[in-house]
Chain A
């Protein structure tokens, strides 16, 4: 089907009907213009052999397998396409059943397609060649736990997004990803597709809200990735599993992060006489750093269709409206709404209406929700495209789409997530009209080409599946496609999980016109070749700040540093889209200085921030205190260039905030400590510098602090941008309070936004801190700067002596008291000093034990065990003497994904040029 992606599909005329071997005429394949002419088409498959059926029914019971023709008929389609009849449909109820079914089917050589609600728009759960069984997760639909204190939920894959929203809304939470299909689409499907939605412009897509997964593999293994905290040392297997479209494994459980429901929400509708003005308004808004929760654009075609269908009061004489929602604290909402209103008016908005009541708001959004359906009523079929471009190119892309529609004589409506440049052109046609269907496909391919040409993506949130395969060469080089296809085999050695999707090997062979990339710098290629030839270990490095930390403690003696700071430096700021392309050797300080002169910054302040290079920060992936508001390092990297062990230069990701083309390989590299490849440069997201204020709230005991932190976390009119804990004062030279029994402990809270929004939150916190036992201290700008700088230097200070041990700990945020108590006992028993710094909301802590002692050993085991039970873990950043555990392995805990991680390392670096990872 991807055989001739470059040829215009219009030249091939699909056959309306076709006789199969069974003599039953089949439908013309929806969205599959090329399929019918395939001369090598295999015969329509029958059912599973009785032996395999019997084995399966022993696992899932007789009612867990459906194989009549009528059963298979209702599983041969998804949200957009019609495929072949599956061999059978298996409905497991437990992770063990999933694993057993996968093993039985793949052992017998049958492909398996995992399916949730079957709502995807990319043909991801249908097939048109060969045969496949469907593994449906609809019977694994429990909400296993909602943990309010930690704002986490544990779900089974078949639970619907909306069911989770309903259950947690009653407790004051929400799960930010909100795909249009959320009423029925399953969370397993959301994870597999890395779903987006309107709110992603502010909150990010699914991968920002998943902290851990349980996954059944085709080998029959069930492994657990991630944990309870936002940052888990080791390869980010969770990150690369998300968006793998059923190619890597079957998600059997997911641990999700929740947010407090915003205390206030306001919806505005800006009406424009010209579509161009509306698009330019969005570009400007993004460039100005205004981040509403949603910015949706609706064009005239859609406005009219909606008003014909449901009367919601959209203007019929306008060319476009923007539907904008702002949320947050009351002050922030008021100010953001005013800014939005001003910007819209400055860009020729005819009128800006504010929804005055919940009813009005609901009505405006009802129109948006009914948009695609209303369009669908105009013609029998529609195809919803999903391209993305950097926001500054919105006007150009919109014009291009209109042109393409005209040229192919097709009605195309536009209603989409303008804020992140994610287009959904809806092409209307009749799937029973072969000519029109062919024109639809031609138009869609042209739209993908235009997006790729503008530095955008062929798919922002729907996934590649089967239908967007022709666009893959527009995004990737042949090497990259080969690499991704190989990576699939690391997770799925059988190659039988959802084959033919995302990046099938046979498609690469026949893909002409793939992207070409600049080769990696000569120095890097040569160093890699030399390392391979001589069996050397190569350590990619920048400032060299973390060469003896974390996994790098195990770097063999005689390793050679590959100094990336000597390579030519690039620092290329795209002001309009708030992105920067920057090479690995540029130091964070250089980057921040360059950005500051333009009013921007990159949200990262890890240890050694003063010296570290961007490459090192990406390779270690630790964000520091910016996490609550801006997420992890990985959440702010849009694209990554890397030299892999054999010297090939590969690029993953792109320049758009939303991008689900191909597997998310860059997630594996971020946090890999340079053990998978050499990061050459990155395209990162930057933000306008806001007003900030930092407040310290001190307490006499961790217990009181912890309770205070708990009520602060539950507060939805105080939204801290940093929310840290320290039992020492980083500004003082050393941990001063260790071992005296009553440490003075403090919360460090930073607020960001406009002046008044910050002031209002500080005032609320002051009121809260009137509680007994709390002492609040507001830092001046200079004091705050000094504090944050001292924080980033504390690790260097503690470890400089060479006698300190350093633990990186993942913990459930509500378990701070237990964690600190355990660490204190441990340090006391070893007669050692202790310093703990934690990013509370994110469940990430650093503990320094000075000096490390043999005595610490026994307590550590039980502490690690206790943490393990709640999804936490302890990793040795600087190992104490006589501690067990190898790099990336938690202390006293075994990760069952270690084998998988080792296979990843083996795949990236078969000759072990980069060292370190050995389990």
Chain B
């Protein structure tokens, strides 16, 4: 959408200022261009020609997390996220793609994405200047340092290539789905993916894993709609023709992007129908589990857990009850709601690297709320959040471990089978079990075997 086209949306802002109460960036800076009302005022000034479309004016626009907290709180329902994206798109058009966007998109576009994570980080470090407020060398060094701490591990091989190890034939399947592997799960941490495949199969779901490319969200977030469309088409080529009732993802961001393919390709006569069909079919894993009435686990997971709502999951997709339902179904698990559970963690894709300081401040607030619950486990529904939250907990010395909610479900199913007899599907390539990432000593866990 162009800036002009977004003018009507911009005009809907009545400047009541209600967004100040919810905006994570405003909570840290307390300056008006850090809140939806101010950012919209800047966009309006650009549209009306009172401000130039240049990097200085755009800096606050890029500083938006797109978390949509303001959208949910806005009495007039102004779609600030759409306005921000339209403005970013406009900058792309007038100024050309910022180098960082080019870099991100180039890496993600690769059919075999994330050749090396370090390549990506290198790009970040070299090309940050044009789109962010980062101008000084030490800040760039800070970004590299943060990137190193963020990504404390990578997977040697992609989950895509390893998937056959986890796929089992399901006898007389009740459901058929395709699993969409997001980039983070694919190369940084297989555990959520393995758990997803596992819990689906245990619920009589036949899973197939077509080769996916990046969902296109990073390109969209930088305002590069064309690249995003290209990604969408490629994914549609692989997913549209499948005989499945749903396309399931463990990543809130990927899920929400796939759900928006219909809108993204609405003008594309060739792909329009396919996109609409896919957008209807895509499901977050916990939502899908609840829809099919997943089997309540009988194995115990004796620990305490709190849950962080990823922005895309809770506000784009309105999935908030389902992951909690999954967690609360697990015997022995002590669920503790944290304050502001649906507040952004500050990750927002590459934001955690492009806006290190602000992202860290926002994360600090989140971590404090996690710590308040004294929960041993922090569960969430998005691998990008997982990455950032893990970094934050470590940075602030909070002992909780971060997992995807389905990992705990998988663990409970395994516990149901009896201690030490975990199925092969629970083991990652390097021999770590998903459970080992969640608690210190799996063998110490009490197992409820009586149910069998």
A interface list, Cβ under 8 A from B: 24-27, 66, 68-71, 73-80, 82, 91, 117-119, 138-139, 141, 158, 160, 162, 181, 183-185, 309, 370, 372-374, 376-377, 380-382, 430-432
Contacts and interface: CB of A to CB of B under 8 A. Distances in A.
Contacts of B60: 70
Contact of A69 (B11, B15, B20, B51): B51
Given A74-B38, A373-B75, A380-B11, A162 B51 contact: no
Contacts of B32: 74-75, 118
Contact of A73 (B11, B51, B76): B51
A24 B49 contact: yes
Contacts of A73: 41-42, 45, 50-51
Contacts of B273: none
A382 B75 CA distance: 12
A380 B21 contact: no
A117 B32 CA distance: 9
B243 to A, nearest CB: 38
Given A25-B48, A71-B33, A74-B33, A380 B20 contact: no
Contacts of A82: 15
A377 to B, nearest CB: 6
Interface of B: 8, 11-12, 14-18, 20-21, 30-33, 37-38, 41-42, 45, 48-51, 56-57, 60, 74-77
B50 A25 contact: yes
A185 B20 CA distance: 9
A624 B51 CA distance: 61
A7 B272 CA distance: 57
Contacts of A117: 17, 20
Contacts of A160: 21
Nearest to A78: B15
Given A79-B15, A141-B30, A162 B41 contact: no
15 contacts: A70-B51, A73-B41, A73-B42, A74-B31, A74-B32, A74-B42, A78-B15, A79-B15, A117-B17, A158-B30, A183-B18, A373-B74, A373-B75, A377-B76, A432-B11
Nearest to B60: A70
Chain A at the B interface: mostly helix, strand, loop or mixed?
loop
A368 to B, nearest CB: 12
Contact of A80 (B15, B41, B48): B15
B30 A138 contact: yes
A659 B208 CA distance: 69
Contacts of B11: 380-381, 430-432
Contacts of A377: 12, 76-77
A858 B74 CA distance: 62
A70 B51 CA distance: 8
Closest 9 CB pairs of A and B: A373-B75, A74-B38, A74-B32, A183-B21, A184-B20, A138-B30, A376-B76, A119-B17, A74-B33
A372 B75 contact: yes
Given A74-B33, A119-B17, A139-B30, A68 B56 contact: yes
A78 B31 CA distance: 14
B14 A376 contact: yes
A878 B32 CA distance: 54
Contacts of B17: 79, 117-119, 181, 184-185
A370 B56 contact: no
A158 B31 CA distance: 12
B20 A74 contact: no
A68 B48 CA distance: 18
Contact of A77 (B41, B50, B57): B41
A77 B32 CA distance: 11
Given A74-B38, A162-B21, 7 more contacts: A25-B49, A74-B33, A79-B16, A117-B17, A138-B31, A158-B30, A309-B77
A119 B60 CA distance: 21
A593 B427 CA distance: 90
Nearest to A73: B45
A181 B8 CA distance: 25
A139 B33 CA distance: 15
Nearest to B7: A432
Contacts of B33: 70-71, 74
Given A68-B56, A79-B16, A373 B50 contact: no
Nearest to A17: B48
Nearest to A432: B11
Contacts of B15: 77-80, 82, 118
B247 to A, nearest CB: 31
A184 B49 CA distance: 30
Contacts of B45: 73
B50 A370 contact: no
Contacts of B74: 373
A582 B72 CA distance: 52
Contacts of A380: 8, 11-12
Nearest to A121: B16
B12 A181 contact: no
B16 A119 contact: yes
Contacts of B42: 70, 73-74
Nearest to B59: A70
A260 B50 CA distance: 51
Contact of B21 (A138, A184, A376): A184
B51 A27 contact: no
Nearest to B17: A119
Nearest to B21: A183
A426 to B, nearest CB: 11
A82 B11 CA distance: 13
A57 to B, nearest CB: 16
A79 B17 CA distance: 7
Contacts of A78: 15
A407 to B, nearest CB: 25
B175 to A, nearest CB: 32
A806 to B, nearest CB: 49
Given A181-B16, A183-B21, A70 B56 contact: yes
Contacts of B12: 376-377, 380
A75 B30 CA distance: 12
A382 B48 CA distance: 21
Contacts of B75: 370, 372-374, 376
Most buried by A among B12, B17, B21, B41: B17
A799 to B, nearest CB: 54
A89 B119 CA distance: 42
Nearest to A70: B57
A75 B31 CA distance: 9
B383 to A, nearest CB: 33
A74 B56 contact: no
A744 to B, nearest CB: 50
A376 B12 CA distance: 8
A118 B20 CA distance: 10
A153 to B, nearest CB: 20
A75 B17 CA distance: 12
A482 B8 CA distance: 44
A365 B381 CA distance: 32
Most buried by A among B15, B32, B57: B32
A27 B30 contact: no
B45 to A, nearest CB: 5
Nearest to B33: A74
A380 B78 CA distance: 11
A141 B32 CA distance: 15
Contacts of B77: 309, 373, 377
A552 B42 CA distance: 60
Contacts of B8: 380
A374 B77 CA distance: 9
B218 to A, nearest CB: 26
A158 B48 CA distance: 32
A70 B44 CA distance: 12
A463 B207 CA distance: 64
A382 B21 contact: no
Nearest to A134: B32
A373 B15 CA distance: 11
A158 B20 CA distance: 12
Contacts of A183: 18, 21
